[in-house]
Amino acid sequence: MIATADMPDSLTQTHGARPFLGIYDYRYAPYSLGDTITWQMNVLVIAIESGANAIDHILMVDPKHPACWMQPHINTANYLTALQNIFPAYLCSPLLRNVRVFRDRTTFNDLLASHLRSGLQVYPSPGDHLRRRVRSGGIVNLSHGGFPLSHSVLNAFYMKNGYLPRLVAPRGYERSARMFLARHAAGRTVVAVHMRQSGLGSNPSALHRDSPMAEWVHFLKMAAVRWPDVLFVVFGGYHEWERPLMLLKNVLVPRTFGLGLAHELALLHHADMFMGSSSGFSAAATFSSVPYVIVNVEHDFSRYSEVPVGELRYPFALDNQEIYWEKETAALLAACFERAYRGLRKRTVSEAASTAGH
């Protein structure tokens, strides 16, 4: 075991806890923000269905075989960096009790066997784990270890219960997010933004999902005139945004302040709205309570989300949470944002009236 992140709250007490175990084994699961977020949602809803009130995330990374076949660029020399970069994403479950990371498979297997003997429920199932795959109902991509995960379990939970639990800001980072926004965005409408730019990274993938940066820059310049109260907080690594963005008065880039993924996820949950192309950050927004506009949703993902191409909302979406299947243009971004912005204004007026009434 190389790391333990025990959560300092009442759920860490074993007395009265009914725990559920979530397994993420990098032998067959990818280092991916979107997949990590969706896996975490599946763990959450299955845990709730089982009657659990606490969740333990168990991560297994073998230094000799640190990544699945889909990510050959992650190897013995760099896997710790990859793990460190994605680790904050595992801290977003509202029922999270602790996170443990193992690099010795024998120790990991002993722990898993002990938990199973004690009757502890797990996801994925022991059978699926031994087959090196994750199942979430619906379509299962067996050649990719079950990834991407479908929304089948989530949709079924929503249809049965009339709600879907939501992820939260990474544990321990909420205060820093509030302080950052109070200092840099006081009095502004904060819109978290992510423009996928995998092609500019060292290991490009799924380039058809990348955002046309010129269209985004055009939109942001237009927004500075039409919505001067809005501050766009741009997420992503240094390779995902062009330096001229830093010169725009309505744009703030947290990475230039030394912040990382954990802070960005916390800022997303404290923003007034999220806007971006289909990506890992979009997955985080999808399972949050934050209003969002997600564009360039991959058409092939329709079969995994169980939502027809062209549909504006996931079945479990909240008010002012919409998806668009078209590739971004400045005009599309402006139209989508204007619609969402009106929704934000209406909600603000309604909340103000409700407060005044009390």
The residue extents of the domains of the chain are 3-161, 174-357
End-to-end, the C-alpha distance of the chain in Å comes to 53
Q: What does the pLDDT read at residue 14?
A: 53
Q: In terms of pTM, does the model score above 0.75? A: yes
Q: What's the CATH code, domain 3-161?
A: 3.40.50
Q: What is the mean pLDDT of residues 284-310?
A: 94
Is residue 353 scored above 90 in pLDDT? no
- 3-161 and 174-357: identical CATH topology: yes
Rounded to an integer, the average pLDDT of 309-319 is 96
Q: What is the mean pLDDT of the chain?
A: 87
- The reported pLDDT for the residue numbered 205 is 57
- Give the chain's length: 358
Q: DSSP 3-state assignment of 139?
A: coil
So what's the pLDDT on residue 357? 59
pLDDT digits (tens, 9 = 90+) for 158-217: 999 999 999 999 999 999 999 999 999 999 999 999 987 654 555 655 556 667 888 999
Task: Kindly give, in sequence order, each residue whose CB lies less than 8 Å from that of residue 352, ignoring residues fewer than 6 positions away.
Answer: none
The beta strand positions in 50-158, using DSSP E, are: 54-60, 96-102, 122-123
| Residue among 242, 255, 192, 239 at smallest CA distance from 215 | 242
Percent of the chain with pLDDT strictly greater than 70: 85
Higher pLDDT, 130 or 168: 168
- CATH classification (class only), 174-357: alpha beta
